[in-house]
Structure 1
Amino acid sequence: MSGVRSLRPGDPAEIGGRTLLGRLGVGGMGVVYLARSPGGGLSAVKLVRVEHATDPAFRVRFRRETEAAARLSSRWLVPVTDADPEAAVPWLATPFVPGPSLAAAVDDHGPLPEHSVRAMGLRLAEALADVHAAGLVHRDVKPGNILLALDGPRLIDFGIARADGLTALTASGLVIGSPGFLAPEQAQARSATVGPPSDVFSLGCVLAYAVSGRRPFDAGAVAGSLFRTVHEEPDLTGTPASLLPLLRGCLAKDPEQRPDTAAIREALAVGHSPEPEHGWLPTPLPGLIAERTSAVLALPVPEPPAPETEPGERATEVAATADATARGRPSRRRMVRLGLGAALGTSMTGGGLVALRLAESGAADDGDRTPLPRYTIGLHADLSGELRSLGQAQERGARLAVAHHNAAEDRPFDLRLTVLDDRGDADRAARVADRFVANREVVAVLGPTGESGFADLAKRYEQALLPMVTVSAPPRLAPLAARQALFQLRANETDSVSGFLRYLGTVLRTTHTAVIDDRAATGDEDWGLVERIKQVPPAGGRVDVHRIATAKAGLDNAARAVRDSEARAVVYAGTSPSRAAQCALALRRVGFDGTRMAAEPVLYPRPADSDGAPTLPFLEEAGDAAEGWLCVTTYADPSRLRTSRRFATAYAERFPDAPAPGPTAPFAVESYDALLFIASTLRSSSDSGPERSSTTTRLRRSRYDGLVKPIDFASDTGDFERAAGLFLYHLEGGEAVFLGNYRDVSEPV
């Protein structure tokens, strides 16, 4: 479940008559659980740490503060609805809000638009007005304590709120609050001067952060932020001019110069237009909140996580677990060499849907710390259908990527790969997608590796905001890239034609090119190669198109027409290796000896019928007539690239009986890069791990330097920068020889 982690051994089964469903997080005060009341209502229940429970002074403060917080009535506060300061381990309960924190929203999706910030500020000012009217000061207004709900923000966590003028919670010289969002008087530990204006200063910091994504007093280290808060002016870069006067007033060093909450509300109301029909939050936050809400409501009551113990023993174990979680990752991890066979498991393909759960490489703990978080990436592949050579190569590449990631000593989390085989069947592919969507542990999907039912699959993953990263889906499907959750890491037809145009126009300098349009043979009428070459003739010269009417038509007439036109080069525009072989034979029969080029599908391998290696049907069927042909592809031969030779070596060591990555096992290294690209963006914004939608946003904003090409997206359109991923192969001696990136080929072959 996104946002909720499973209960741990030693966690109680219920608190205050509420059944615990899972963990929401761990903080300095204790563990926060998601709980369901007997009537079905959901609560966030905070169980304090044992060391606090044994402190009599803490219990006095805890009782006073929970009683004061329970009196608050603002709609935009999350009130304390129940508490037991006298319990063996004190606890308090508040309503559960399924929305993300402001900190997570800005971190995952970027700054909020001005209308959202004005709406949030109006409501937070109203909430603080209620706090101050009750004689309280919140003291820790920060992005992490503001939850974003569909109808507005909620201010939470009165763990350090106190009655105005009292000093019970503040030891001498102790700074209470969060650096970067606290007032100068808090930064200087001047508790006697901390009051409502301190919350106003913090609110100003929060609004500046929300609208710009920057902390106004950020200096990296805590000490630097405290110094800047006290002595320097705020950095309000990126803040709209319309908000600057208000924020500068809120951030005045002198508390008496700051506006009160009523003045803040009045200033924010100016220019605050009615909220859009879709609500006050920008896309995709409403969808994320709805996803969390539905998932939480569907949570079953878990089995008790551990045998019943005495209350004191259970409380000690809960606190110890919380402390271990807060400490983080183990201090020492075992290293595992890339390609270690035992860590990668064995693939199972064939009948039915196949799920592989790979063991983590180097995931063993030393026993002194809690295990690392583990995130699951799904591989949606055709492992036993017509294009199984592509799927199996990508599975191997993905496995190596998982092993590589899990062998890194400084990794913040472990990866797990779950593989499902759709067998190249559209109905099965839909079921695979549904299984990945339903598995809440899956944070992203690599694939599909084929095209069966592709548009439907993209829709299913999009509706779930589950990132779908594909390296081998047909390029003519690239217009779907406008979808938020779809990432096609390969060139589309418009871009792949650059490989033809550069070689023919710049390297070969031909002024007369012929195109044999064989799209009717495979029904590829929407394939854009022909149109693009006609629109941009190589070297500005002449282009003749010879269209084949039907799949049954022979290619000899077209071959003769190409020869008789005295064209210097011909491009076969089709996707069938067998038809391309017929074209090659026809051109040889008529004596055409110019340059011959074809697109990637012509080189796709034919899977072996038994244990033999896959073959290239174009080379096999064309024989000597294939000699000298050039193919433009979106996959590389990693053994012939300096940056990926280690990958090729590790691949061969781990899979000694598999075909080498390249033409007979395409997209293996591309799959490796894609999985590590996904991993590079996975960050947990909460104790529950990464959200699917936030991962989608991070992927679109990220750049990753892969072994064969950079993975990057245009800042204005969000489209994949495809040009770096185009390559040339030359067919010679019965083999496909890798020439490199199309831009690096400068001499005719």
Structure 2
Amino acid sequence: MGDDVEGRYEIVDVIGADGALRRAWDREDGGYVMATLVPAGEADAWRRGFEQARVIDHPHVLTPTDWVDGDGEALVVTPLVEGETLADLIADRGPLDPWWVKALAGQLLEALEAVHADGGVHGALAPAHVWVEATATGTPTVRLSGFGAEPTPGYVAPEALAGAGPEPRQDLYAVGLCLIDLLTGRVRQVWDELTIPEGPLAEALARLVAERPEDRDASAGEARWDLAAVAVAPALGRRLDVRSRLRPLPKGWGADGPGGRPVPSVKASKPARGPKTGPNAVETLIADLRDRLDPVLAATIVLAVLGVILLIAAFLTW
């Protein structure tokens, strides 16, 4: 498939290393999109997944917007994601704090609630099919993708391996494995034994990955409520930074498309701040705290610093 797709999409560059994802310019709507190259021989399954997912309107589902056939290949078009997959995040960060795992799990289970409520089953849930979108502050946004993809070895429920038909609790099994990966900092392989990490989420994980489907949570909603009830200490002062897998736009491309203005980097580096004296020292300290710490913790420290300054000022004028 060439750079021009059906006269509507123009391929701009490749996202990631395997070449399956491309950034494209949508001439009709005037914006960048993500186009996934459907693997050879899997077009029928991906087309069914496309038809299933295109009607789901949910903030944690990466809803496909178009299906394109051309030159013996097919593309699934979705909104462009400024972030990385769970597989990338695990490779970048290693083990995550249980607080972050719980936060991401809640969003992922919300996405599955929407999928299952519409009568569908994802059937191929794995770290490579869950995107995490960067946000300025707070919890990153989870986006479920990969509808119609081949199941990833190692993430298939035991009953599905034994020949059982698709069923929502198989997706819950895969969610449990993804959460274990996040806690251990390692994407599982098909030969890995199933071991549940110790910690506050252990009991909830055990239900998700129970060998018998009847021993798992009855639904994604039930699993989400069970996780929400687990007490987990906040990860204060530890932000979950998400990297964008997008490269800088090639020459001749900008925010407004071909020939447009340049696009600033998603995570532009900030100039290092050296020691500073004089009336702006307090402002510099506050800015550093905002940049480096969790917002709630930073606000607490800033208030404490301002309180000390007021006390000193009152003492000097007394």
Distance change >3 Å, CA 236–CA 126, structure 1 → 2: same
CA-to-aligned-CA distance 1:462-482 (integer Å, 9 cap, x gap)? 79xxxxxxxxxxxxxxxxxxx
Distance 2:235 2:160 in 1: 38
Taking a change above 3 Å as real, the CA distance of residues 274 and 71 of structure 1, as seen in their structure-2 partners, is farther
CA contact (8 A) 1:116 1:282 kept: no
Separation in 2 of the partners of 1:134 and 1:87? 33
Q: Which amino acid in structure 1 is aligned with residue 172 of structure 2?
A: V
243 and 85 in structure 1: CA distance in 2 versus 1, 3 angstrom threshold: same
Aligned position for 1:135: 119
Where in structure 2 are the equivalents of 1:98-497 lying within 5 Å? 98-149=82-133, 150=135, 151-160=140-149, 177-188=151-162, 190-192=163-165, 194-214=166-186, 222=190, 224-225=191-192, 228=193, 234-237=194-197, 239-240=198-199, 242-259=200-217, 260-271=219-230, 282-283=239-240, 285-286=241-242, 288-289=243-244, 296=248, 298-301=249-252, 460=271
**CA 1:126/1:99 → structure 2, altered by over 3 Å: closer, same or farther?**
same
User: Matched residue of 2:83: which SS?
Assistant: coil
- Name the residue aligned to 1:24: 15
**Structure having the higher Rg:** 1
Query: In the alignment, is residue 46 of structure 1 matched against residue 36 of structure 2?
Result: yes
Partner of 2:316: none
CA contact (8 A) 1:63 1:85 kept: no
2:9/2:24 contact within 8 Å kept: yes
> Is the contact between residue 125 and residue 262 of structure 1 (CA under 8 Å) also seen in structure 2?
yes
| Contact in 1 for aligned 2:100/2:235 (Cα 8 Å) | no
Q: Is 2:4 aligned against 1:14?
A: yes
Judged with a 3 Å threshold, the aligned counterparts in structure 2 of structure 1 residues 26 and 70 are, in CA distance, closer, same or farther, namely: farther
Q: CA deviation at 1:143?
A: 1.3
CA contact (8 A) 2:94 2:186 kept: no
**Structure 2 counterpart of 1:182, which letter?**
V
TM-score of the aligned structures, taking structure 1 as reference length: 0.31
Secondary structure of 1:90 counterpart: strand
Per-residue deviation, residues 716-737 of structure 1 (Å, max 9, x unmatched): xxxxxxxxxxxxxxxxxxxxxx
Q: 1:72 to 1:113 in 2, by over 3 A?
A: same
Deviation at 1:23, TM superposition (A): 1.1
**Shift, 1:153, TM fit:** 1.2
* Preserved contact between residue 13 and residue 250 of structure 2 (Cα < 8 Å): no
Q: CA deviation at 1:274?
A: 11
Q: CA deviation at 1:201?
A: 0.4
The Cα RMSD (Å) is 3.3
Write the distance in 2 (CA, Å) between the matches of 1:97 and 1:20: 16
Match of 1:511 in 2: none
Q: Does 1:75 align with 2:75?
A: no
Go from structure 1 to structure 2 and tell me whether the alpha carbon gap of 1:187 and 1:81 turns closer, same or farther (over 3 Å shift).
same
| Identical pairs, percent | 25
Deviation at 1:265, TM superposition (A): 1.0
Cα gap change, 1:134/1:205 in structure 2, threshold over 3 Å: closer, same or farther?
A: same
How many residues are matched?
A: 252
Matched-pair contact (CA < 8 Å) for 1:46–1:92: yes
CA separation of 1:143 and 1:282: change in aligned 2, threshold 3 A: farther
2-structure distance, mates of 1:184, 1:301: 51
What is the letter of the counterpart of residue 186 of structure 1?
A
Q: Deviations over 1:192-242 (max 9, x none)?
A: 2x3111100010111111122246xx5x6x4x34xx5xxxxx3123x42x2
Q: Distance in 2 between matches of 1:62 and 1:113?
A: 34
Q: 1:59 to 1:213 in 2, by over 3 A?
A: closer
Rounded to whole Å, the distance in 2 between the matches of 1:41 and 1:272 is 42
CA distance in 2, matches of 1:85, 1:139: 24
Q: Secondary structure at the match of 1:19?
A: strand
Structure 1's unaligned 5+ residue stretches are 1-10, 53-57, 161-175, 229-233, 303-437, 440-457, 464-749
Distance 1:109 1:93, change over 3 A: same
CA shift in 2, pair 1:63/1:159, >3 Å: closer
- Take 2:120 and 2:112, find their aligned partners in 1: how far apart are those partners? 9
- For residues 248 and 139 of structure 1, the distance between their equivalents in structure 2, rounded to whole angstroms, comes to 20
1:33 match:
22
* Rounded Cα–Cα distance in structure 2 between residues aligned with 1:82 and 1:235: 40
- For 1:21 and 1:196, the matched residues in 2 are separated by 37
Contact in 2 for aligned 1:251/1:258 (Cα 8 Å): yes
> Equivalents in 2 of 1:43, 1:70: separation in Å?
15
Q: Which amino acid aligns with 2:36?
A: K
Please tell me whether the aligned partners of residues 113 and 282 of structure 1 are also in contact (alpha carbons under 8 angstroms).
no
Q: Secondary structure of the equivalent of 1:100?
A: strand
Could you tell me which runs of 5 or more consecutive residues in structure 2 were left unpaired when the two chains were aligned: 254-263, 274-318
| Cα distance in 2 between the residues matched to 1:45 and 1:272 | 40
Residues 577-602 of structure 1: CA distance to partner in whole angstroms, max 9, x if unpaired?
xxxxxxxxxxxxxxxxxxxxxxxxxx
CA spacing shift, 1:191–1:299, aligned 2, 3 Å? farther
Q: Which residue of 1 aligns with 2:287?
A: none
Change beyond 3 A, Cα 1:139–1:63: closer
In the TM superposition, what whole-angstrom CA distance separates every residue of 1:78-137 from its partner, at most 9, and x where no partner exists? 111111358753222011112121112112211111111111111100101111122221
| 1:597-676 map, 5 Å | none
Shift of 1:14: 2.2
Deviation (angstroms), 1:26: 6.8
From the superposition, tell whether residues 22 and 115 of structure 1 become closer, same or farther in structure 2 (CA, over 3 Å): same
**Structure 2 letter corresponding to 1:178:** T
- Write the mapping of 1:573-592 to structure 2, written as runs, cut at 5 A: none
Alignment correspondent of 2:297: none
- Higher relative contact order, structure no. (Cα contacts within 8 Å, ≥ 6 residues apart): 2
Matches of 2:124 and 2:143 in 1, distance apart? Answer: 14
Q: Secondary structure at the match of 1:137?
A: coil
